[in-house]
Amino acid sequence: MHSHARALQTPPISTFLCTWSGANTDKVDHIRLLGNNTFGFEDLANGGDKDYNDIIVKANLTLV
């Protein structure tokens, strides 16, 4: 029960990222989770150079 129940959980941040990605007109992700609440943004259209280091944001997410 433990492992299966865990797999069914969907972190809220995943929904947020999917919604954001779907809103992009070029259908290419401009945001990537680099880890530990750190997000990298790609500034160029069509994925640009895909280094995702043009804007680095350390998110401090707190559920209220």
Look-up: residue for tokens 């941040």?
A: 13
Could you say which residues in the range 24-53 bind Ca ion, by CB under 5 A? 42, 48-49, 51, 53
d(CA 28, CA 35): 20
Q: Is 54 among the residues that bind Ca ion (CB under 5 A)?
A: yes
Question: 4 or 58, CB closer to Ca ion?
Answer: 58
**Residue 49: burial class (beta carbons within 10 Å; 0-12, 13-18, 19+):** exposed
Question: 14 or 56, CB closer to Ca ion?
Answer: 56
Residues that bind Ca ion (CB under 5 A): 42, 48-49, 51, 53-54
